[in-house]
Amino acid sequence: MNRLLELRRALAAHTPRHAAGGLDVRGRVIAVLLALVLAAPLAGISGRAAYAVGLAPAGATVGGQNMAGMTRAEVAAVVANQAAETTVTITVAGQTITTPLAQAGGRVDADAMALAVVSGEDPASPATPGGEPAATVDPDAVAALAARIDAQAGSAAVNASIRPAASGDAFEVVPGANGQGVDVDALTAVVASATETLTSQSVELTLVDVAPAVSDAAAEQSAAAANTLIAPAVTLTAEGKTMTADAATRASWVGTTAVNGELVPTLLEESVAVWVDDAAAAIELDPITGIDNVDAEGNLLEPARPAQDGLEVTNRTAVTDDIIAALDSGESYSGELTTQAVSADTEQRVVSAGTDRFAYSADDGEKWIDINLTDSTITAYEGYQQVHGPVLMNHGGPGNETITGTYEVYLTYAEQDLGCSPGWSYCQKDVHWVTYWHGNYAIHSAPWAEHFGVGSDAGSHGCINLPEDEAHWFYNWADIGTTVVSHY
């Protein structure tokens, strides 16, 4: 400023006060002098001036491109474009994988980076306290890229696990094994470099040993926990039956989940539910629809099949939940399946009103027995009058079908062992009320059978199975020579 004052004094001494335009000339000279005097200082602060007006300073670059003098919006556009074009290329064990920066895990906030550029800040640091940096790396995306590389060039580590032992009643450890994979830290550094510089990176990395997420020691702890989980007993009762889940069954209910390096055994609800469903199925019954034979006008001729209510279990879900809760608490479980009846309907079947609707042409008052394999019934007739039945029965199953045709009762036993001799695949001791009507085909009691009729009917070796009291009735009523007609 002293120099500027001296220049002004010199100018005043050599300029006539009365000269025309003197003030204008002096003004122009001062302007020139000011420009000369201030030129050097202004040049020195040009960077600060650029910040002040929101322009990128001299020397600012993004991905190798000069940003000097650009506005924040212009820089942001360049950043976005450069980020989209930047790639990460990794070569491992002869396999090369090129991935766009964003997919590799590079996260670039173009507007925030533009602000950092015009402000002369580090893009890797938050623009504001507590904020997010303009350039970051997503570790989950890097892990996904590492998995892709490992799938092509590496080998997966095998977690240790548990399985039921050969005995089925306890768990044992299946050892894990190391794998080979890309060094995730080195890969992260490559992605970080590409993100911060917005320049594509091409690097060769080596495979390193990768330990399994679940160690053998963790699996040992899991096996012990699983054995504790299945130790308590589980018993169900229903309709006079008792069903127990043995240790092997309980072991089949266990699954595991890897959590932070631990293998956590848990009871699988769907597996427990399957066992409960099987137990329920053992006692449930479908209703048997009754059939009445009617003529064309709908008049009842005779019943052809009695209706029988079904049975269904009503608390499957509650029992499943209670079993899981008990075992999770280390306690044994004993519960009951509750049931309710399912009402059966009766339908009408139109048949001929004449005697041709019967399977046998009987004389008046003649005793004969009708075995209907379609309806799974047995009925006693005298002439064309039903004197007993129809009664639900069981007949031969696949491979042991009951024969069809017209036969006669030829032999009876109040009690007999059935099978129980060479050539027979079964043996039933002390079977009551045995009425033979052809070869080894007989009507007899079947105390081992829980249900009779359609749905449970095909269970004998060819004989007609009946409840004890019904078999007794036919034994007492049928004479030697009584006709027996078996048909569909």
Cite the active site residues: 444, 463
Which tokens go with 392? 């639900």
CA angle 7, 12, 14 (to 5 degrees): 100
Which tokens go with 341? 């009846």
Contact residues for 449 (Cβ-Cβ < 8 A; gap 6+)? 394, 456, 459, 465
Nearest partner of 222 among 166, 253, 267, 264, judged by Cα: 264
- 82 within 8 A of 171, measured Cβ to Cβ: no
* Cβ neighbourhood burial of 396 (10 Å; 0-12, 13-18, 19+): buried
Outline where DSSP puts E strands in 127-233.
Answer: 135-137, 161-164, 171-174, 179-182, 201-204, 207-210
Residue 357: DSSP 8-state:
G
Nearest partner of 283 among 203, 347, 338, judged by Cα: 338
Which tokens go with 370? 């009708």
d(CA 440, CA 19): 154
Outline where DSSP puts E strands in 54-155.
Answer: 61-62, 65-66, 87-92, 95-100, 106-108, 135-137
Return phi, psi of residue 296, to 5°. Answer: -60, -25
- 462 within 8 A of 441, measured Cβ to Cβ: yes
Which tokens go with 71? 């506005």
* Cβ neighbourhood burial of 88 (10 Å; 0-12, 13-18, 19+): buried
